[in-house]
Chain A
Amino acid sequence: MRELDSTRVTPLPVVATEARSRGLWRDALRRLAGNRLAMAGAAFVLLTAAAAAFAPLIDRYPPNRQDTTASFEGPSARHWLGTDQLGRDQYSRLVNGARVSLSVGILTQIVAVSLGLAVGLAAGLGFRTLDNLLMRFTDVVYAFPDLLFVILLVSVFREAVAGSATRTLVVIFVAIGLVAWPNIARLVRGQILSLRQQEFVQAAEALGASRLRVALVHLLPNTLGPVIVTATFGIPAAIFAEAGLAFIGLGLPPPTPSWGRLVADGYDAITSHANLVLAPALAIAALMMAFTFLGDGLRDALDPRLATPKPRVRVLPATRVRVRVQRRWRKAA
């Protein structure tokens, strides 16, 4: 009989697979490479990242330059995606906006993953009181309405950082990251708790390894898979959140473009100049889909039950040890 305490069990497979030294990751990579959708997704993500990185080289006008004679022009040879109300070239703003959007996506997840790993790990170490405390703390943060809490957090610090795009960005990263970490913490904790019940862990501890060491060396690497997948899905969610914030007026200070800002700006002109809102919305959609396919692919790739590894167990403290465990489902009647 499995026993669960009040923490939610994650829906992702709780399995540790064995591997020869680096074989697991190489296997996963191979599987990922074979997944066409995922590869397409990865390609698009890389494309966007490249566009963001080289934006000043590939844009056609300075993104904030206003052409007072060219308000609301449609797509043309001069302005590939048209111009906005202040005569700014949409294509250039789109390409430069990728920087902010991607950074929001990635940096929020870095915050969330760091916090989530730390808390989840500490909770999973096996000390009851610490676990309880941390999980209750996670419950509290988890109970807050996500976007509403972000709005509250951003509102607190906004006035202090207003005027500076960088500092406002930091506030936004941290705010979104702060609502995203509980999921990861629970995930990590759940994985670690299940794994700790395996023999190899008992063995390692019997050999004198401290709990922390066991956790860091043996268990943490096994949680990375699902964490990476969760983070991959979190990136587009963060970009959405940024768009939402821009929409209600809590985004970056003007005139910095971001895809969310472009959507919010173009929104008012949707009837007569739909191109202004469609271009960034499609860009966000495409990036979302790319990350989704990539995330799906990563999950499939890291799911070892789809592979056929050879079982081998080595029990040495300094080596990463993975043991193959199969979950037994009840037999259907």
Chain B
Amino acid sequence: MTAYLIRRLLWLVPVLLFVAAITFVLMHSVPGGPWDRDKPLPPAAVEQLNRKYGLERPLWEQFGRYLLGLLQGDLGVSYRHSDRPVTEVIGGGIKVSATLGGLAMLVAAAVGVPLGIVAALRRNRALDYLSVSLATLGASTPNFVLGIVLIVIFASTFHLLPTIGWGSWKQAIMPVLALSALPTAFLARITRASTLDVLQQDYVRTAWAKGLSVRAVVLRHVARNALIPVLTLAGPLAAALVTGSFIIESQFAIPGVGRAFVTAIFGRDYGVIMGVTLFYALVVATANLAVDLAYAAADPRIRYR
């Protein structure tokens, strides 16, 4: 097991390297550069700026220098924020996005999983259809439409919640709701499907036959097995949420990292683009690893070579 863990961790390095390389090439292939702004700069100025940041060197050399800097924890500077270090520019954003995503995931799990289990237990009855429909409806609207509807209702019309900003729990309610609609529906559906699977197993039938209460059956036998596949997909889902939904962040004026990424693409702010992508890749890889480990812990039949 330890050997497996070490091997997986070691694999992270080449994977991240490739992610960095591909991102680097792609972002330099986007037409236009960081100096193509509101008003055209004289060519001498462009030349000078390129020299200052080393942008006139061949791509492979720039990439090499970037990697070297990376090893020392230096992610470069942001061109659009008067040379503030990238770590500073995205550091704050990471915390914000992680909180936003984490809360959304919590809501999705707290609502979606029980919903799925209940729907499975009441399969093909009214409650099943209702809960699936409700969950699917929430997930069927693009989240920015959901967001603006929430804003129009709870902010501009009834003045209950603030529209913008981040920091107080009131400011968190609407963005978290808008963001969690899709994951909730997703988790509900996966949980339902997997619970249905498990409910048909012999050992569950045995448990019913033994006369165990519903709660006992569910909590002791069904839930653990049903949740394994759910965990599998929940991992990447959480990773996606944590790294920030840029649409919700732009909409609710939340200073997160997803929004910073999109602004960076439109501004050709290479340092920020690389920084956010690498951060995301790390989160996904870690989430996958965590899920695999949890999988192994939950199901003792599984042994990793």
Contacts and interface: CB of A to CB of B under 8 A. Distances in A.
Assess A/B contact in the complex (Cβ within 8 A): yes
Interface of A: 1-6, 8-13, 37, 136, 139-140, 142-148, 151-153, 155-156, 159-160, 236, 240, 243-244, 247-248, 260, 263, 267, 270-271, 277, 281, 284-286, 288-289, 292-293, 296, 299, 305, 329-332
If over half of A's interface residues share one DSSP class (helix, strand or loop), that class is named, otherwise mixed; here it is: helix
A182 to B, nearest CB: 10
Contact of B15 (A37, A139, A156): A139
27 contacts: A1-B301, A2-B302, A5-B304, A6-B8, A8-B232, A8-B291, A11-B229, A11-B232, A37-B129, A145-B284, A148-B246, A151-B262, A152-B30, A152-B273, A153-B26, A160-B31, A248-B246, A248-B250, A267-B145, A281-B145, A289-B133, A292-B139, A292-B140, A305-B200, A329-B201, A331-B202, A332-B220
Contact of B136 (A152, A243, A288, A330): A288
State which size class the interface on B falls in: 35 or more
Contact of B26 (A156, A289, A293): A156
Interface of B: 4, 7-8, 11, 14-16, 18-19, 22-23, 26-27, 29-32, 129, 132-133, 136-137, 139-142, 144-145, 148, 152, 156, 189-190, 193-194, 197, 200-204, 206-207, 220-221, 225, 228-230, 232-233, 236, 240, 243, 246-247, 250, 258, 261-262, 265, 273, 276-277, 280-281, 284-285, 288, 291-292, 295, 300-305
Contacts of B11: 136, 139
B14 A151 contact: no
Contacts of B236: 142
B214 to A, nearest CB: 15
Given A2-B302, A144-B277, A277-B145, A331 B203 contact: yes
Contacts of B30: 152, 155-156
Nearest to A292: B136
A51 to B, nearest CB: 18
Given A139-B15, A271-B156, A148 B277 contact: yes
B304 A6 contact: yes
Nearest to A268: B148
Nearest to A286: B140
Nearest to B194: A11
Nearest to B157: A271
B247 A244 contact: yes
Contacts of B148: 267, 270, 277
Contacts of B202: 329, 331
Contacts of A145: 240, 243, 261, 276-277, 280, 284
B140 A152 contact: no
B138 to A, nearest CB: 10
